[in-house]
Chain A
Amino acid sequence: EPEVTQTPSHQVTQMGQEVILRCVPISNHLYFYWYRQILGQKVEFLVSFYNNEISEKSEIFDDQFSVERPDGSNFTLKIRSTKLEDSAMYFCASNLGLAGAISTDTQYFGPGTRLTVL
């Protein structure tokens, strides 16, 4: 069964460093997302991406964050200068975006990357 994959599973970085989190969405999906979950809190939306541009972003997704689809398979989240509060699980998700089939077109999540900022 196709699945969303994410690398690395765990990333440790020093405050102020840049990190790139990588995701490979399901191959025929067209819509891509990043969410994060700070320990003990709920899963929060960061950004959605379609047709090589951001569709929507949350207040969390400030100028330190960027997303890119550098090729036909990868979808990346870059944090330019990490802060302690960026420590969280980051989940990538994707969905197909079928016309007229919204009710069955749910988002599928990857296993997550645990980012630890020291």
Chain B
Amino acid sequence: DQQVKQNSPSLSVQEGRISILNCDYTNSMFDYFLWYKKYPAEGPTFLISISSIKDKNEDGRFTVFLNKSAKHLSLHIVPSQPGDSAVYFCAASGMNRDDKIIFGKGTRLHILP
């Protein structure tokens, strides 16, 4: 049961270029979408989020785009930096305070020098 799908297990991007990570979801009841970043031996770290009433949210080098009709979201990182190399998890939840987060399987991003 994959409610949140990240179809690319890995992605390599040249330093300074744009990294685009994609995510699809199946449950139209999701109200809130998040991206988490994870380094080895650490827990997921919240990166950026977007509510279902928006189509774009920007925070510095990170922008998340949401296409509700396509049930698709993407994370853009520009410019990509070496420290961005990590696993990125797309995630979704409802809008209640204690809603669980449903994670995708993650995409490993490699930033090449």
Q: Report whether A45 and B104 are in contact in the complex, using a CB–CB cutoff of 8 Å.
A: no
Main secondary structure of the interface of B (DSSP, over half): loop
Binary per-residue interface labels of chain A (1-39) against chain B in the complex, 1 for a CB within 8 Å, 0 otherwise? 000101000000000000000000000000101010000
Q: Report whether B102 and A97 are in contact in the complex, using a CB–CB cutoff of 8 Å.
A: no
Q: How far is the CA of A110 from the CA of B36 in the complex (A)?
A: 13
Q: How far is the CA of A103 from the CA of B16 in the complex (A)?
A: 30
A residues 65-103 near B (Cβ < 8 Å) are 91, 93, 95, 97-98, 102-103
With A41-B105, A50-B98 as contacts: A91 and B32 at CB distance below 8 Å = no
Q: How far is the CA of A97 from the CA of B95 in the complex (A)?
A: 11
In the complex, residue of chain A having the shortest beta-carbon distance to the beta carbon of B41: A111
In the complex, residue of chain A having the shortest beta-carbon distance to the beta carbon of B95: A102
Most B CB atoms within 10 A — which of A43, A95, A97?
Answer: A43
Q: How far is the CA of A42 from the CA of B2 in the complex (A)?
A: 10
Q: Which A residues touch B73, using CB under 8 A?
A: none
Chain B nearest Cβ from A80, distance in angstroms: 23
Residues of A in contact with B, size category? 20 to 34
B51 within 8 A of A: yes
Q: Which B residues touch A110, using CB under 8 A?
A: 43
Q: How far is the CA of A112 from the CA of B42 in the complex (A)?
A: 7
14 more A-B residue pairs beyond the given contacts A42-B106, A109-B36, A112-B42, with a C-beta to C-beta distance below 8 A: A31-B97, A35-B103, A42-B103, A42-B104, A42-B105, A43-B101, A44-B103, A45-B100, A48-B98, A50-B98, A55-B98, A58-B100, A97-B98, A102-B96
Q: Which residues of B contact A (CB under 8 A)?
A: 32, 34, 36, 41-46, 49, 51, 89, 95-98, 100-106
Q: 7 closest A-B pairs (Cβ-Cβ)?
A: A109-B43, A45-B100, A97-B97, A43-B103, A42-B105, A55-B98, A103-B51
